[in-house]
């Protein structure tokens, strides 16, 4: 199991705390330290809908120009990928991957069923 995000994000902290309390084995990928590779961005885009993957509530998204926002809303994967590579903090956190399945955000009930 692998979890992706930014360590100082409050939602990430809750998810990691929950996983630790369950004694779940996981690997943490911190975008700030390890970055986001082109391959990982492609994997996310192949397995997660853009509308779910891009955090439209965050300051990173709000700072984008209107043309870029429109292309993301039109599900332009190449634009979404470039924005993710330039600003990994635009990816909704956390992304939990387990057995080829992906879960976004953190809700204990969902994690209980997923893990």
> CATH number of the domain that 91 lies in?
3.40.30.10
Tokens of 85: 């590579």
Task: Please state, as a whole number, how many other Cβ atoms lie within 10 Å of the Cβ of residue 54.
Answer: 22
Q: Which residues pair with 101 in a beta bridge?
A: 98
Q: In a structure prediction context, what are the per-residue pLDDT tens digits for the chain, which is 115 residues long? A: 999 999 999 999 999 999 999 999 999 999 989 999 999 999 999 999 999 999 999 999 999 999 999 999 999 999 999 999 999 999 999 999 999 999 999 999 999 988 8
Residue 75: the pLDDT is 93
DSSP string, the chain: -EEEE-TT-HHHHHHHHHHHHTT---EEEEHHHH---HHHHHHHHHHS-HHHHB-TTSHHHHTS-HHHHHHHHTT-HHHHHHHHHH-GGGB-S-EEEETTEEEES--HHHHHHH-
Compute the mean pLDDT over every residue in the chain, rounded to the nearest whole number. Answer: 94
Residue 74: the pLDDT is 93
Residue at token pair 């956190």: 93
Angle (CA) 96 99 105, round 5°:
15
Residue 79 structural domain: 2-114
Residue 115: the pLDDT is 81
Catalytic residue among 4, 5, 9, 53: 9
Q: What would the pLDDT profile of 6-38 be if each residue is shown by its tens digit?
A: 999 999 999 999 999 999 999 999 998 999 999
Instruction: State yes or no: is 9 an active-site residue.
Output: yes
Q: How many domains does the chain have?
A: 1
């Amino acid at each position: 199991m692998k979890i992706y995000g930014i360590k100082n994000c409050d939602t990430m902290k809750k998810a990691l705390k929950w996983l630790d309390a369950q004694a779940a084995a996981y690997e943490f990928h911190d975008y700030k330290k390890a970055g986001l590779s082109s391959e990982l961005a492609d994997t996310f885009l192949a397995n997660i809908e853009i509308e779910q993957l891009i955090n439209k509530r965050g300051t990173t998204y709000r700072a984008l120009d209107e043309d870029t926002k429109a292309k993301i809303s039109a599900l332009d994967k190449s634009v979404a990928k470039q924005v993710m590579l330039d600003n990994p903090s635009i990816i909704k956190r956390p992304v939990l991957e387990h057995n080829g399945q992906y879960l976004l955000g953190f809700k204990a009930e969902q994690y209980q069923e997923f893990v």
